[in-house]
Amino acid sequence: MNLQPMRKLISLALLLSPLLAGLAFPAFGDTVTYDNVRYIITSETDSTSTYEVSLYQILEAPRILIPDKISYGGHNYEVTSISEDNTCIYPENLERDVYIDKIDFSLAAHIDTFPMSATWTGCTDIDTLILPPNLNYAAEFYALCSTEGYDEKGSRYLGIKRLFSSGTTDIDIESFQSCYALVEVDLSTTAIDSLLWNQHLLQGTFEQCYWLENIKLPETVRFFDGYTFALCTRLIGIDLPGSLEHIGQYCFARSTFKTLHIPSKVRYIDPTFVFDNYWLESISVAIDNPFFKSDSGVLCSKSGKTIYTIPYSLRKDRYIFPEVADSVNERAFARKLGYTGSESQLDTAVYAIDVIRHFVFNHGLRYLGESAFCHSPLETAENFGSTQVSIIPKDCFWGSNLRGIELPVELSVIEAAAFDSCHKIDSVRFLGSVISHIGEGAFRLCTSLDSLDISAQTRLKTIRAHICDGCTSLRSVKLPTSIDSIGNYAFSGCVSLSEIEVPVLDPIPVDESVFSGVDKSSCRLIVPAPSIGKYRAAPVWRDFLNIESGDLLTLTVLSADPAMGSVSPTTAYARHGDTVTITATPLSGYRFTLWSDSVTANPRDITVTRDTVLTAHFAPYTPDTFAVTLLCDSATGTVSGAGRYPEGTAATLTATPREGYAFTRWEDNHGLTFTDNPLTLTVTCDTLLTALFREDGTGHSPADDDGCAAWVTPDGTLRVRCPGCRLMELRTVTGLTLYSGAPVDIPLPHPGVYLLTLDGDTYKVMRR
């Protein structure tokens, strides 16, 4: 065997035991043999204690055990650390017939740090690396486990394949990312708390460990950061530690396991955590997890109301939404969007996998998350039209295999790119929905879409940019009467467009890009008959050579007296059966009364079946009047000010006590109290007020904040009403105590001023 010297394979700092002081020290160039490995002294760092040694030559057993101590010349030297000059392990040019099979640091108790430059690029045959027991920091392990080049068969990367811990410390691990050769990792003996996103490399802890098949983690890990196991394409299973609480974004993206169990302490799961895991068949959840549960393999909120994640390969031909579910989480069944990891054969392999392609929606569904079905294999959305969904959010069905869809009656908003790039969708049907907003690019690149009829959406004001850009099969477009603007590139690239209906009286100013690619020499532009001349003269519109009137009906709206109010629109063109919203707006001092056909609704939706004229009637505004009713005990007082008042009037109400009584407060029929007397009340509705009086005297009013009352009756009796009061004291002004104890009624001995204390608060009362 040709045993050529190796440059700096292992450099260790050796601390001479204090007991050896004064003894002979190895000299520069001397060798030390330990466990069939010879070391050579390469430099003297301290003339009395420390030496740096490097592996010089490997003998017959190529297993390197990095020891805690080395004996030389009858003396013991302790290994204190990997050398600080960052040259610890660096075999650059190993001969093929000289190789290291295993490097074991389990006895190197004093090594606590692996520096960043501890590269192993020459260790092409190392199978196993065992970490030091007290290691507390290790920089990017990719430098240890990712070597350039392939094995002799060219099928996989060279480098360390197995990595094991030997101690229980909390290792601060920056990254194992791109450890291409790594097959097995066991960190179960450590006390690791988190697997973090590497801020320097912008990658997850084990991201792109393509050959990683098995990993064991300790029951101390609480936090998985973003991309932790992303693109571990051979990781067919993982046991999540029971201590885990947080699972970050794209954590298991592109992994290949079929089942995943969520432990009981997990409280946060990012919606993308199993993104692009095509083989995932089921997600289970610990029964005592308070935040999540599994419904037949689907991850849901604990209540079952939110569908959180639907595994791609759930063992079902179709997925039926549970009746209790009312929302679908963002990216619940999405793939590809937002993840920029390298593409692989998985993109084509997915088509051979049994994935869900048919969904049956439930009536109680109300909310869809952003990108919920983005780039999914979803083909049919059965019963979607019967849901209560009011908003289809951004990117919701973008790039899916959806073939056609019926929109819910409750729907009012379609956000940007909702159906962008749905290449197979051929029809979008509006089932009576009233749409007020369709976002930019909503149907962009729907290359199979045949027609778009939004003529009934009379609350839609704007056709947004790129709405049907690139819809190469689109033949017919029908716009509503309400639109007042069309965004750039709205129908760009619609090369099959043969008919556009625009039932708007005055041509809308548009950019040339709106119809770029449309054959304007053959496409029919259908407009209101009175407006044909206007369209033939308007920029862009005049480029259409076939401008004609269609079967449009006219709705004319008038005001019976323009001095009292206005109407909108004044003229509208619609097809038979279309709905148009009309509004009557009164001027100040007037009110709308009814339409000429006796309907009082305003605004009002009109279904146009013939040419129609409607007139709005107005009248001077007369405020409504409301009754103010006053009550009291006639034996104790009288009230005045009752009657009917116009709305908004300030009514003055007075309560007058009879002799021997005093006014206390007003109480109304809504439970409110008032202490002002006279009381000024703004009348806005029918109101009932009761005036309350008490026996005359002086004392603490029951309307005060604490709810207590004390007064002197005409016969000289002090009466006290103070709920919750524990101590009452009554004294003369000279300080003589007349009573101390629980609140009671007390006859005052003679006219004059007295001091009454209730739970520490003192008041003056007087007997006349």
Q: Are 679 and 666 in contact (CB under 8 A)?
A: yes
**Residue with tokens 């209906």, as numbered in its chain:** 501
The pLDDT of 524-539, averaged and rounded, is 92
Q: pLDDT per residue over 375-407, tens digit each?
A: 988 999 999 999 999 999 999 999 999 999 999
Q: What is the pLDDT of residue 458?
A: 81
The pLDDT of 271-294, averaged and rounded, is 91
Q: What is the pLDDT of residue 205?
A: 83
pLDDT reading at 340 higher than 60: no
d(CA 415, CA 437): 7
Q: Strand, helix or coil at 351?
A: helix
Residues of the chain with pLDDT > 70: what percent? 76
pLDDT reading at 197 higher than 90: no
Q: What is the pLDDT of residue 332?
A: 92
d(CA 712, CA 715): 8
Q: Strand, helix or coil at 709?
A: strand
Q: Residue 702 — very low, low, confident or very high, per pLDDT cuts 50/70/90?
A: very low
Q: What is the pLDDT of residue 624?
A: 79
Nearest to 79 by CA among 118, 34, 129: 34
Q: What is the pLDDT of residue 145?
A: 54
pLDDT reading at 688 higher than 50: yes
Q: What is the pLDDT of residue 62?
A: 46
pLDDT reading at 20 higher than 80: no
Q: pLDDT per residue over 300-321, tens digit each?
A: 999 999 999 999 888 888 899 9
Q: pLDDT per residue over 21-64, tens digit each?
A: 333 445 555 555 555 455 555 544 444 444 444 444 444 444 55
Residues of the chain with pLDDT > 90: what percent? 40
For residue 756, give the DSSP letter.
Answer: E
More confident residue, 26 or 249: 249
d(CA 169, CA 132): 10
Highest mean pLDDT among 498-507, 572-581, 681-690: 498-507
d(CA 165, CA 178): 19
d(CA 28, CA 670): 101
Q: pLDDT per residue over 449-476, tens digit each?
A: 999 999 888 889 999 999 999 999 999 9
Query: Which of 70-84, 186-200, 653-667, 698-712 shows the lowest mean pLDDT across its residues?
Result: 70-84
Q: Report long-range pairs for 272-276 (Cβ below 8 Å, ≥24 apart).
A: 272/331, 272/334, 272/338, 272/339, 273/247, 273/248, 273/249, 273/309, 274/309, 274/311, 275/250, 275/331, 275/334, 275/335, 275/338, 275/339, 276/335, 276/336, 276/339, 276/346
Q: Residue 751 — very low, low, confident or very high, per pLDDT cuts 50/70/90?
A: confident
pLDDT reading at 143 higher than 60: no
Q: Quick count: other Cβ atoms within 10 Å of Cβ 387? A: 23
Q: What is the pLDDT of residue 114?
A: 64
d(CA 30, CA 336): 60
Query: Which of 84-93, 299-308, 346-355 shows the lowest mean pLDDT across its residues?
Result: 84-93
Q: What is the pLDDT of residue 136?
A: 77
pLDDT reading at 742 higher than 50: yes
- Looking at residue 687, its amino acid is T
Q: Are 230 and 340 in contact (CB under 8 A)?
A: no
- Computed over every residue of the chain, the mean pLDDT equals 79
The pLDDT of 737-742, averaged and rounded, is 84
Q: Strand, helix or coil at 253?
A: coil
d(CA 412, CA 317): 31
Q: What is the pLDDT of residue 451?
A: 94
The pLDDT of 265-289, averaged and rounded, is 91
Q: What is the pLDDT of residue 104?
A: 74
pLDDT reading at 352 higher than 80: no
Complete edge-to-edge strand list for the sheet that includes strand 69-72: 31-34, 37-44, 50-58, 11-16, 75-82, 69-72
Q: pLDDT per residue over 203-242, tens digit each?
A: 788 888 888 889 999 999 999 988 889 888 888 888 999 9
